[in-house]
Amino acid sequence: MNRILKLFASILAGLVVITVAAALILPKVIDPNDYRSDISKAVHDSTGLQLAIDGPISWSVFPWLGLSLEDVNVKGSDNSQLAKLGAAEVNVKLLPLLGMKVEVKTAHLKGLELDLVKNKDGRGNWEAPAAVTTASAPKPAEKSEPASGSAPALNLDISSVSVEGLVLRYKDLTSGQSYTIDQAGLETGAIRSAQPFDFNLQARVNSKQDKLTLMTQVSGMLTVDLNNGKFALNKLKASATPAGKNSETLQLTGQFDVNQTPLKVSGSLNVTEFNPGKLLKQLNVELPAMANEKAMSSLSFNSHFSTDGKSFNADKLDLTLDAFNINGHFKVLDLEKQNMVFQFKGNELNLDHYLPPAAQPVAASEQSSEQKTETAKASGSSSTPAKASASAKEQPLIPEAMLRSLNIKGSLELAALTVAKLTFDKPTVEINAANARDRVKLTSGFYQGTISLNTLVDVRTVGTPKIDTNAALKGINLPSLATVIPALKTVEGDVNADLNVATRGQLLSVLTRNLNGKVDFGIAKGAFTEANFDKMVCEGIAKVRNKKLTKTDWGQATHFTRLGGSFVIRNGVASNKDLAAALSNLSLKGDGDVDLVNRKLDYHLGLNISGSSSENSDPECQVNEDYRDVTWPVRCHGVIGQQQCGIDTERLGNTIAALLKQEAKKRIEKELEDKAGPLKDVLKGLFK
């Protein structure tokens, strides 16, 4: 037994001696510089790239397996300069490799320059020719049984990694884009398996076409556990700062944990508060002027997320823009099908702050003759609405492609929302989009009342999206709403309305022209604040009697207990035949059309005066009891928002004719023979 052990020890000692001798002799006998052409040929055969090592190649075997290269050049597939390396050096301890332990001295890389060019055909100079790619493609591996036992654990022990003088230039000849990364370097601490190590990467990024230079830096603590397939990145800090004085910095912080099998990634990513408007300006991105000069002055973001490769869950998303904050969660249930769910809540959001500022009025003296003509038309001196310039081209309003791809369900709730000066109180929006049919439901408080709206956008037919909307308004206070929409100041009261409309198309003009549906509405305890219909009717009666009104304190309003009716909309024209209102001293009926396409209206109102029972009426316009139900017509017509109202002279003739006919039945036929005198007496006899 002792003899066997001695034999084994002698063999082992001999192997060690041979290994040490080989390590000392081989570098003296074999010169790696003799194999330059073989290395270059191997690289070309496998990649199609031309490698030239113009500097010396040095190597050692024991106790460190070391390799150093200098002055290395690589040409791309189009024979252009692809890469250049000043020097590279790495030393790996030999004996620990036998135990699957990689023990490395400082790995150093210096003066690496990469020139990446994509030609006009869209092919990069770093891509191997098709023939080389096909020839070097690996054959499908034969199925084999898994080896028994697990592979030996691989341990890393690298003192540090140093990369300096890294330059990367990229040019795309198809788009003209070009970028340069220089002043780049990487430094790490000691890299050991399953132990955290610090790293710091910094670089300068230049873009000629954007006239932009960015200073970037990424640092953190990285843990690599190759044996268990786990990675962790902590204390991540990444920043980008435009070159120049008083530059704004975009800074990201966060942490990541990765498990390869089964795949699971979790972490957080945060954006430190910064001034986005200032940063975008320094990035040569010109933002449009905004109504609030402090808009886009502060932005921060916080998140936490996880994924298993099949789904994605952002269980925390928190964004603050200026005074607005929104937070909630977002999930992608199936990354392949892109079906998403979300729920967010926010405080008050004023979108008007981010819209263009209100246009300043131009002094009349500064207007051109054409501008003055248009101003005169807009002010109502012409019944023809000002038309848009022929050069103005409408833009599609509905993003079909985006809406068609949505597979999403979620809700958004805000404390308040202001848009186009309209304020919604505690609005809640629910979205349910799938199969190119997108549903949106809005419920909100609205000017002392409530609003509920349901809209379906159907984009299954390319180029012709369809929109169906139904809405209910309850108790909307018109005086409150008139503070935002001055055109409503002529009516007071609380509005209740039901709307059911549909349209199709992409352009605003087409959507208006294709609008069809019905609107039912009612206003309770209201008044027409800028029209006294009592006065209008009395003026008409007095005109027939050739009398002048004696009353002067008519007031500016006509009160009513209820006003209601319905509009039927056909191809953008809303028609009404059933307007009815119960006024203080009058009853009112109405009919007419509102042309939304051409922005015109022509509306007729019929007023019935209460006769001798009318309180505070002018004596010259009180009617006999027999004529209390006679309709006295008023007409409103013109451009919407600039319409004019007054006595309807056309229908007034019909009213007078009806009165004459009714009175004639009570008179003796012989009184009608005289066309002048008796007719005058008839008209006078209608009134007290």
Mean pLDDT of 353-364: 70
Indicate if the pLDDT at residue 612 is higher than 80: no
pLDDT at residue 588, as a whole number: 78
Q: Which residue has the higher pLDDT, 650 or 670?
A: 650
Q: Which residue has the higher pLDDT, 110 or 673?
A: 110
Q: What's the sign of the alpha-carbon dihedral 474, 477, 481, 487? A: positive
Of 23, 33, 99, nearest to 64 by C-alpha is 23
Indicate if the pLDDT at residue 332 is higher than 90: yes
Q: Residue 311's CB: how many other CB atoms inside 10 A?
A: 14
In this structure, are strands 107-118 and 81-93 parallel, antiparallel, or unpaired?
A: antiparallel
- The band of 315, judged by pLDDT with boundaries at 50, 70 and 90, is very high
- The band of 14, judged by pLDDT with boundaries at 50, 70 and 90, is very low
> Which of 146-150, 253-257, 339-343, 593-597 bottoms out in mean pLDDT, i.e. has the lowest?
146-150
Indicate if the pLDDT at residue 606 is higher than 70: yes
Q: Which residue has the higher pLDDT, 369 or 530?
A: 530
- DSSP letter for each residue of 353-400: GGSPPPPPPPPGGG--HHHHHHHHIIIIISSSPPPPPTT------S-H
- Whose structure tokens read 């932009």? 212
Average pLDDT, the chain: 81
Mean pLDDT of 157-178: 89
Per-residue pLDDT reduced to its tens digit, 344-357: 999 999 999 999 88
Whole-number Cα distances in Å, 593 to 508, 509, 574: 20, 18, 6
Q: Which amino acid is at 543?
A: K
- The band of 68, judged by pLDDT with boundaries at 50, 70 and 90, is confident
- The band of 215, judged by pLDDT with boundaries at 50, 70 and 90, is very high
Environment class of 389 (CB within 10 Å of its CB; exposed 0-12, middle 13-18, buried 19+) = exposed
Task: Report how far residue 688's alpha carbon sits from residue 683's, in angstroms, rounded to the nearest whole number.
Answer: 11
The dihedrals phi and psi of 103, each to the nearest 5 degrees, come to -115, 115
The pair of three-digit structure tokens given for residue 509, joined into one six-digit string = 């003009």
Indicate if the pLDDT at residue 419 is higher than 60: yes
